[in-house]
Amino acid sequence: MRRKITQTAPPAPTPNSLAELAARTLAAHKAIDPVILEVKKLCAFADYFIVASGTSKRHVQALAQHVDEVLSAAGLEPLGREGLEEGSWVLLDYNDVIIHLFLQPLREFYDLEGLWAEAPRVALDHAPALQTPAETLSPG
């Protein structure tokens, strides 16, 4: 008797696990004060915003590149990338998770955390240790 082996795609990551992976990646690469805001009850276009800062335009660009690489390795591609060339405010849109990376003065000026003050903050363990994308995104 032969068994038919079928290969199934891994389950899609939850928005929460995607947000945590992105925020941990930012923390591991020395982003300033990465914050996860749960906005799913406040808007219809996303479940989470991540807001973080870099120390220079190059640092902001590098943070975006690191997040992009880690999430790409997990099989995720953003719907859009904005501001990469300028590097003062980069937006990465992963549908349910939108990542805002700022130079610190612009973060303070636009104050997204204040604008979305009603959004609960999701606790992020300060240990920036990263797991492999498969370990981090597995349902459980």
Has residue 53 been placed in a domain?
A: yes
CATH number at residue 64: 3.30.460.10
Q: What percentage of the chain reaches a pLDDT higher than 90?
A: 74
Q: How confident is the model at residue 2 (pLDDT cuts 50, 70, 90)?
A: low
Has residue 82 been placed in a domain?
A: yes
Has residue 24 been placed in a domain?
A: yes
Has residue 58 been placed in a domain?
A: yes
Domain count of the fold of the chain: 1
Q: In the numeric block, which tokens belong to residue 59?
A: 């640092």
Q: What range does the domain containing 91 cover?
A: 15-122
Residues 9-44: tens digit of each pLDDT: 566 678 999 999 999 999 999 999 999 999 999 999
How many other β-carbons are positioned within 10 Å of the β-carbon of residue 62?
17
Has residue 5 been placed in a domain?
A: no
Q: Are 116 and 39 in contact (CB under 8 A)?
A: yes
Has residue 2 been placed in a domain?
A: no
Has residue 129 been placed in a domain?
A: no
Q: Which DSSP symbol is given to 83?
A: S
Of residues 72, 51, 53, 73, the one with CA closest to residue 62: 53
How many other β-carbons are positioned within 10 Å of the β-carbon of residue 94?
23
Q: Are 37 and 51 in contact (CB under 8 A)?
A: yes
| Strands 89-94, 97-103: pairing kind | antiparallel
Has residue 84 been placed in a domain?
A: yes
pTM of the full predicted structure? 0.81
Q: Are 128 and 9 in contact (CB under 8 A)?
A: no
Q: Has residue 60 got a pLDDT over 80? A: yes
Top pLDDT among 17 and 130 is at 17
